[in-house]
Chains A and B, each alone.
Chain A
Amino acid sequence: MPEGQLPPITRKSVFDTPYQHFGRLDRFSKLGLASIAMALKDARHEACSELRDMAIIVSTTYGCLHTDMDYFDTVMPEAGKLASPALFSYTLPNSFLGEASCRFGLTGATFVINEWPSMGLSGLKTAMDGITFDEFENALVGFCDPGTPSGFENKPGMVPGSLFFVIDKAQNSEYPPYGTITLDGKNVILFNGKRIRDLAHLAKECVSVNA
């Protein structure tokens, strides 16, 4: 996937209704939360007033490192006197998963997977396993990376952005899915029977289904 420029992410560009916390989120969280909101909307899962046992599993390389750097900038000047609790709250890469849980009423497992090279496939396999093993009914799975922080190596193949999928155990009869993902005997992920290289490839295949 070619690297582009991330657009600014505003509350109005993602949510139709007021969302008091959104402006306070760090860049990583805004990006991930926006992507989760879009995935839920696409899957017709966003409008639900009840708690749901949906898991969220996200892969990331740099995670909230931008926020880590911003936070430590508040620690250094006065030997910690001015350390920002608001920034510190977002120095864990799973923070935005908690934010998404609150926003959308999701009570399933939430965690971050870090691997390199990060193709997001470990997260997808973990989510598929969780559904197969009856640990949860459905899951949001994806990747989120706001880009390479200044001074860090630009990892080949890593592009700034976020992409989430909703995977369900059972097909929602009202809204047909893009397709079916399975594991073959060699633990390779297949989408509609075709081998998947990474999550961006999976997205392209999904889009091509409706083309």
Chain B
Amino acid sequence: MNVIVTDYAAVTALGSSLEELWQGLLLGKTAIQPVQRFPSSHYRSNFAACIEGLSPSGKGSMTHDLLNRLASQVKDVPPDATLITATTKAGIDNLEKLKRGTPSDRNDILLSSIPESVSSTFGLKDVGFNVSAACASSSIAVARAAALIRHERVDAVLVCCIDLVTEFVFSGFSSLGALSASPAMPFDKNRSGLSLGEGAAFILLMSEMRAQREGRPILGRITGWGISGDAFHLTAPARDGCGLIRAIRKALGISQIGMEEINAVCAHGTGTIHNDSMELAAFHSIFGARKPSVYSVKGAIGHTLGAAGGIEVALGVRSLSEGLIPPTVGLTSPEEAAEGMVSSHLQEFGGDYLLTTNSGFGGVNSALILKRGISA
């Protein structure tokens, strides 16, 4: 059974909708700015991409405000859809409040609070479950959703992903030396780390049969997925990209296409030295002498952690339908291995397939293959 993307939405620091985000990306804008949310003078960086005006509601986490903003863009969600969410830290802002003696709802801190909130916000019968796998969380959630539809376990799945910029996470990445002192520069030879971001995305997947029966738009298709571990190191990626290579090969196998059919890659592209090198090693191993267009959105919206994969799937579907590859914001001088693949300019793109990849702590890697839908 074919897996169709029938609806999507996103809220990021670059816009309160996917349309605003897309237009901002095409213009090469960045939302990475000095952080106002918490004091950052003791950290390696004071840059992040925070959503303007995002605020907690009483004792609640900022996740509620973010989910409400997301829900305001979406209508006609089938109440019988299966729910899979993705987050790495849920309402961890409430743990900060709790530790500082400010009243806060403890339940929001638990990762299981996200499916609970999403189910209630979107009026679903299913209480669902959350997937947590570091920065690959939401791409794994999409992979699970696609597998359930492909094998006819269910015919509609809502994937919703969310993560926040908090002092908890910011301080941690700073302590690991992973933050860039200036806005992130993915695949640049002068890159020095990542910039954090926050956001949420909504992706409604359906079987082709149900989508057609209900007259839903065929925005795009998920044709392949692969997940693989490095078995190398807890926080550092395997230098040769072996785990990511396995994940991409699995995705190509499920998709039943060859690498020559992939014309563009939405890379994880965090801007850290090791992540970007690892990804380029994997892409060279997979594509050989071919040089598909590779881009990263993290110089524009920051690294949104568990939400990254979901936002990138929504953008990848948009990219396929528009036939455009957004510029890699922050890139000024590509590293040698990226030359001819990445660009700081908007590019036209004529292929039918796009690969998205994510990698994270614990050595986890994911690859999704998206196919062009039917233009309206």
Q: A99-B234, A122-B129 are in contact. Are A81 and B229 (CB under 8 A)?
A: no
Report if B75 contacts A (CB, 8 A).
no
Q: State whether A153 and B99 are in contact (beta carbons under 8 Å apart), knowing that A80-B42, A102-B233, A122-B129 are contacts in the complex.
A: no
A42: Cβ under 8 A from any B Cβ: no
A115 contacts partner chain B, Cβ-Cβ < 8 Å: yes
| Cβ contact within 8 Å between B110 and A113 | no
Given contacts A89-B176, A92-B134, A102-B363, contact A107 B228 (CB under 8 A): yes
Complex CA gap A133/B176 in Å reads 38
Bound Cα distance A116, B140 (Å): 20
* Contact yes or no, A105 B231, CB < 8 A: yes
Asked whether A75 lies within 8 Å of B361 as measured between CB atoms, the reply is no
Interface range on chain A (Cβ under 8 Å from partner): 35 or more
Say whether A106 faces chain B, with CB atoms less than 8 Å apart. Answer: yes
Q: Which residue of A lies closest to B39 (CB)?
A: A79
Task: Tell yes or no: B9 within 8 A of A by CB.
Answer: no
The answer to whether A107 and B243 have CB atoms under 8 Å apart is: yes
Residue picked from B130, B133, B167, B172, most chain A C-beta under 10 Å: B172
A80 touches B171 (CB 8 A): yes
A-binding segment of B90-98, B188-196, B211-219: B90-98
A contact residues around B128 at 8 Å (CB): 115
B175 in the interface (beta carbon within 8 A): yes
Q: Which 5 A-B pairs have the closest CB atoms?
A: A98-B362, A88-B172, A109-B227, A111-B133, A114-B111
17 contacts between A and B (CB under 8 A): A62-B110, A68-B168, A79-B39, A80-B42, A88-B173, A89-B361, A95-B362, A98-B364, A102-B231, A106-B231, A107-B230, A107-B243, A109-B229, A111-B132, A116-B112, A133-B147, A151-B98
Residues of chain B having any CB pair with chain A under 8 Å: 39-43, 88-89, 92, 95-96, 98-100, 106-107, 109-112, 114-116, 127-134, 136-137, 140, 144, 147-148, 150-151, 153, 167-168, 171-177, 227-235, 243, 246, 250, 360-364
